[in-house]
Amino acid sequence: MDEFEREALGDVDLDDPVLVEGLPGVGHVGKLAVEHLLEEIESELVERVHSTHFPPQVSVDDGRTELAGAEFHAVRPEDGRDMLVLTGDHQAQDNTGHYGLTETFLDVADDHGVSRAFALGGVPTGELIEEYSVLGAATTDEVVDDLEDVGVEFREDEPAGGIVGVSGLLLGLGERRGFEAACLMGETSGYLVDPKSAQAVLEVLQEVVDFEVDYASLEERADEMEEVVRKIQEMDQGTPAASDEDLRYIG
């Protein structure tokens, strides 16, 4: 197979859509957010991207296999802006793959008429938290203003170390290609899958893009994680913390 391959699966006509990316990263925040979005609003799978830079594996569902890849779904809310939603189970395993895949993702977005992109992810705090703020980074002052209006925080020198992976490159490479782009990052401990942070990020996106979703199932997952957190808090405080390098990744 080629280094980067696109597989068209559907033909849809989207009206001025926004790209929404949620791939695995800290706390699985972005991935949880887009998975919930796809569960709550009817969508259509329109394209897959495969690459030799993904892990060498297939997923298995009821005995059926699927080569590792990323998927684009068309989402058209009844009241709100059309979305092209990117998700998957993996990110690239190397720098060349990150760059090449992001360029391919932007090619797909361009073909569907996308002009604005939102990368969803988590920013690690290194400690368990109760109040979830959403931090932002954006390519234009206009996008910064739009996001500040809905409560996104833009903090000096945060996130420390910048934004890596597809979430960061969507902004860096997207700006070079004329896309307006932003990254919405929910605060999360960095230790656990974090449905509460995912909900905080999705609520911000909801305000910007204008769609309606029910959060009951996400809140149920959050309650389950609360029990995990409670048990962690009861554990010996001598457990080694994750290193700064472990917590640096945002995606």
DSSP for 182-202, written as a single string: EEEEEEE-SSS--HHHHHHHH
**Is residue 24 assigned to a domain?**
yes
pLDDT tens for each residue of 66-98: 999 999 999 999 888 999 999 999 999 999 999
> Is there a domain that residue 250 lies in?
no
* Residue 37 pLDDT class (50, 70, 90 cuts): very high
Whether residue 249 has pLDDT greater than 60: no
Q: What is the largest CA-CA distance in the chain?
A: 56
Please choose, from the candidates 91, 110, 96, the residue with its C-alpha nearest in 3D space to the C-alpha of residue 49: 91
DSSP count for the chain of H helices, then E strands: 7, 10
Strand order in the sheet with 116-124: 4-8, 43-51, 70-75, 83-88, 18-22, 116-124, 180-188, 134-138
Q: What is the pLDDT of residue 196?
A: 94
**Is residue 231 assigned to a domain?**
no
Residue 66 lies in a domain: yes
Question: For 50-64, 102-116, 225-239, which range has the lowest pLDDT when averaged over its residues?
Answer: 225-239
Bridge partners of 89, per DSSP, are: none
Mean pLDDT rounded to a whole number for the chain: 92
Total tally of structural domains belonging to the chain: 1
Whole-structure pTM value: 0.90
Residue 98 belongs to what domain range? Answer: 4-215
Quick: pLDDT tens for 198-237: 999 999 999 999 999 999 999 999 888 888 777 777 775 5
> Per the domain annotation, does 242 fall within a domain?
no
Residue position matching structure tokens 């309650």: 223
DSSP annotation of 241: P
227, part of any domain: no
**What's the CATH code of the domain at 179?**
3.40.50.10900
**Distance (Å, rounded) from C-alpha 52 to C-alpha 39?**
29
Q: Please give the DSSP secondary-structure letter assigned to residue 153.
A: B
Q: Is residue 199 part of a domain?
A: yes
Residue 173 within any structural domain of the chain: yes
